[in-house]
Amino acid sequence: MKNQRVLLLVEIAIFAALGYILDIIGFGMPQGGTVTFVLVPVILIAFRRGVVAGLITGLLIGLLQVVTGRFYAAPLSFEIVIIQVAIDYFIAFMVAGFAGFFRPAFMKAFENKDTKKMVTAVIAGTFVAALLRYFAHVLSGILFFGEFAGDQNVIIYSLVYNSTYMIPVFLLAAFICTILFVKAPRLVLPN
C-alpha cells in the first residue's frame, strides 16, 4: 500500500515536470497566448490515476511556472496580481484534471474493445479539460485585463482572445491523447 502511494506521488511529479517542459514547447499566437502541449500530461495522469491526481498535477504545473518566473502578471497592485496569477496559473491548469471524470467510460470501452467509445471518452475528457482552462483564462481576462479591450465589450474581448489559442490547444491535445490512448492504452493503466 505504501509503495503504491509513493509510486503515485512519483508519477504526479514526473507528469507535472513533463507538463512544465511541454508548456515551454509551443508557438505563440500573434495577438498573444501560446499553443502548447501542456494539457497532454494532465489528461494522461487524470485518465491513468483519476481526478485528484490530475488536479494535483495541474496545480504543480502552475506552481512550477510561477516559481520559475514563466508567468505574466497584470499591471495591477500586488494583492490583485496574486489573485490573477492564482486564476491564470494555479486554477487554470488544475481544473484540467477534471478530464479524469471520463476515465471510467474509457476503461469500460477498453475492456469491451470498443475503440469508438474509447475515442469519445478521450475527446470528451480533453474537451472538459480545455473548456475549464479556457473559462479560467476568460474570467481572468474579464477581471484583470479589461484595459486591453479598449472600447470593446470586455467579456466578448476575453472570450474571443482566449479562444484564439485555446481552440488549437484543445485540438492538439485531443489529437495527441486520442492517438496515445487508443494505440497504447497501457499508458492509462496504472501498474
Domains of the chain, each with CATH number or no CATH:
2-187 (1.10.1760.20)
pTM score of the predicted model: 0.93
Question: For the chain, what percent of residues have pLDDT higher than 70?
Answer: 99
- The CA-atom distances, in angstroms, between 64 and each of 6, 11, 36, 73, 174 are 21, 16, 16, 15, 24
Tell me the per-residue pLDDT of 10-45, one tens digit each, with 9 for 90 and over: 999 999 999 999 999 888 877 778 899 999 999 999
Tell me the per-residue pLDDT of 121-149, one tens digit each, with 9 for 90 and over: 999 999 999 999 999 999 999 998 888 88
**Cβ neighbours of residue 48 under 8 Å, at least 6 residues apart?**
11, 103, 187, 188, 189, 190
